């Protein structure tokens, strides 16, 4: 199991307030699969890439509106920090920690 694998409790600081979600990461070499589940539902991760302890991925959300989010995060032990890009709406900071 890679250091990036696991379940992460995350918070994104968005214009709609703090968006809490659970990010699940399962790596396979230089790629990963998983999901992100929160108050607005669950979405599958697409185009998941692993570069050392850095993750990049996209998510296609449908609520509150259809949009593709471009995400990146760095894992440092039991801490995750990164950003979520929401196209014309800008980029929002994400942080969290390993669940459990």
What pLDDT, in 10s, does the model give residues 23-33? Answer: 999 999 999 99
By the 8 A CB rule, do 72 and 56 touch?
Answer: yes
- Average of pLDDT values for 90-99? 97
pLDDT reported for residue 40: 83
The burial of 75, by beta-carbon neighbours within 10 Å (0-12 exposed, 13-18 middle, 19 or more buried), is given as buried
What pLDDT, in 10s, does the model give residues 43-65? Answer: 999 999 999 999 999 999 888 88
CATH ID of 6-98, from 1.20.990.10, 1.10.10.60, 3.40.50.720, 2.40.128.20: 2.40.128.20
CA distances from 71 to 4, 17, 48 (A): 15, 18, 9
């Amino acid at each position: 199991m890679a250091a990036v694998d696991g379940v992460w409790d995350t918070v994104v600081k968005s214009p709609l307030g703090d968006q809490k979600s659970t990010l699940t990461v399962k790596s396979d070499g230089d790629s990963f699969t998983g999901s992100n589940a929160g108050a607005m539902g669950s979405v599958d991760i697409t185009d998941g890439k692993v570069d050392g302890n850095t993750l990049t991925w996209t998510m296609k959300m449908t609520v509150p509106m259809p949009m593709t989010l471009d995400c990146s995060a760095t894992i440092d032990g039991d801490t995750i920090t990164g950003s979520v890009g929401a196209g014309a709406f800008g980029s929002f900071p994400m942080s969290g920690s390993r669940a459990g």
